């Protein structure tokens, strides 16, 4: 099969980690008989330098015409003095909006071999961890009505949390579909003891659950959810939650893994379209040194194969190659121990590609 991928290399370590993900994708293509066409497009700081805009129209139209988007990372100190809406990171919001990416998926996996990197006690994460946080990405308080007003207590500011039934329904379906491909458990996290919007959220999630009789649903208040993530993370398979709660909980979940260089993510639209990127930023402090860990981007490419192209065996091949890399004792700089010689960014890509 042939697939068209719009690729944003971005800034800092972005181009370095993308190069390795492409290497691994090509190895997958060679083994399984697929051709991946890469359409390199500009976004972020590089786009500002070349076109004056962080998200040129051409990037959006090429991304829309592609099957998926693979993104490195954008931003860096060079552009930090620009006003907020002209900064490189703004390109991410623009892409989410233009591409209709309403579901953000963040797996938090603790590989057994890297258990030492987790801040949690070994007995809590024994045997590894595998959680996916499904965060609603285009609604809720970040996009609700906001403003300033005068009150009895003086000048005030407000932001409104609002969810429509349809917004909840479509994100809940993403979570339940995902659970069907995993361990068939969904935990919906809300604040239904206080918030009206959470009560609507809970009611609609329960309705959607009826369409998936094989999946077990439980509900948790967000304060308890934050606690259980560090006390008993094995409770979770798929977590589904609102934009703001997901923002916070997905960062908490990713910290459990102990290593930002290992964390992939996906943002999905209706249908199979998605944008895939590592959770980390452009890490300007290590750009150009060969110390960037490309595994998060390589695993993001694996998610692209799984969720957009439906290539399960090929996606598993990437996950297994990363696992084999770690099992053989290979390490990158960020996860190296005293007794390992870390591999550079490109050595890591070569090694993982050879393990496909």
**Positions that interact with ligand NAD (CB under 6 A):** 13, 17, 73-76, 89, 92, 260-261, 277, 280-286, 292-293, 296, 334
- Which is the catalytic residue, given 142, 234, 350, 351? 142
Smallest gap from residue 75 Cβ to ligand NAD (A): 3
Cβ(105)–Cβ(267) below 8 Å? yes
**Between 172 and 296, CB nearer to ligand NAD:** 296
DSSP string for residues in 303-320? HHHHHTS--HHHHHHHHH
SS3 245: helix
**Between 63 and 215, CB nearer to ligand NAD:** 63
Angle (deg, nearest 10), helices 165-180 and 196-209? 40
Active site residue 40: no
Q: Which residue is nearest to ligand NAD (CB)?
A: 281
Active site residue 221: no
Smallest gap from residue 298 Cβ to ligand NAD (A): 10
Active site residue 276: no
Q: Return d(Cα 312, Cα 314) in angstroms, integer.
A: 5
- Which is the catalytic residue, given 67, 130, 177, 251? 251
DSSP string for residues in 207-232? HHHTT-TTSEEEEEEHHHHHHHHHH-
- Which is the catalytic residue, given 49, 159, 218, 223? 223
Active site residue 218: no
**Between 237 and 334, CB nearer to ligand NAD:** 334
CB neighbours of residue 49 within 10 Å = 13
- Which is the catalytic residue, given 67, 130, 177, 247? 247
Structure tokens at 232: 């008993």
Q: Return d(Cα 13, Cα 241) in angstroms, integer.
A: 30
- Which is the catalytic residue, given 23, 163, 191, 319? 191
**Between 222 and 286, CB nearer to ligand NAD:** 286
**Between 233 and 278, CB nearer to ligand NAD:** 278
Cβ(277)–Cβ(265) below 8 Å? yes
Active centre residues (catalytic)? 142, 191, 223, 247, 251
């Amino acid at each position: 099969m042939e697939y068209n991928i719009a690729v944003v290399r971005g800034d800092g370590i972005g181009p370095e980690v993308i190069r390795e993900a492409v290497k691994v994708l090509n190895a997958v293509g060679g083994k399984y008989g697929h051709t991946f066409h890469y359409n390199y497009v500009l976004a972020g700081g590089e786009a500002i330098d070349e076109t004056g805009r962080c998200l040129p129209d051409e990037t959006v139209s090429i991304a829309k015409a592609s099957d998926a988007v693979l993104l490195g990372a954008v931003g860096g100190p060079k552009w930090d003095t620009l006003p907020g809406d002209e900064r490189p990171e703004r390109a991410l919001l623009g892409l989410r909006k233009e591409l209709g990416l309403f579901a953000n998926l963040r797996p938090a996996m603790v590989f057994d071999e890297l258990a030492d990197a987790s801040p949690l006690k070994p007995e809590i994460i024994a045997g590894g961890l595998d959680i996916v946080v499904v965060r609603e990405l285009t609604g809720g308080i970040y996009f609700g009505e906001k403003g300033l007003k005068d009150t009895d207590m003086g000048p005030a500011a407000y932001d409104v949390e609002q969810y429509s039934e349809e917004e909840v329904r479509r994100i809940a379906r993403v979570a339940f579909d995902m659970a069907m491909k995993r361990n068939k458990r969904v935990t919906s996290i809300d604040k239904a003891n206080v918030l009206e919007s959470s009560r609507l959220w809970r009611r609609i999630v329960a309705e959607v659950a009826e369409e998936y009789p094989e999946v077990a649903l439980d509900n948790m208040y967000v304060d308890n959810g934050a606690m259980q993530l560090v006390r008993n993370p094995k409770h979770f398979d798929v977590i589904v939650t609102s934009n703001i709660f997901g923002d916070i909980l997905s960062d908490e979940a990713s910290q459990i893994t102990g290593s930002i260089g290992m964390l992939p993510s996906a943002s999905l639209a209706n249908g199979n379209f998605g944008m895939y990127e590592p959770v980390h930023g452009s890490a300007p402090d290590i750009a150009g040194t060969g110390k960037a860990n490309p595994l998060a981007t390589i695993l993001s490419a694996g998610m692209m194969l799984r969720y957009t192209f439906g290539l399960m065996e090929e996606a598993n091949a990437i996950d297994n190659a990363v696992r084999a890399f770690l099992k053989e004792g290979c390490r990158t700089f960020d996860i190296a121990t005293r007794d390992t010689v870390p591999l550079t960014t490109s050595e890591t890509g070569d090694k993982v590609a050879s393990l496909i």
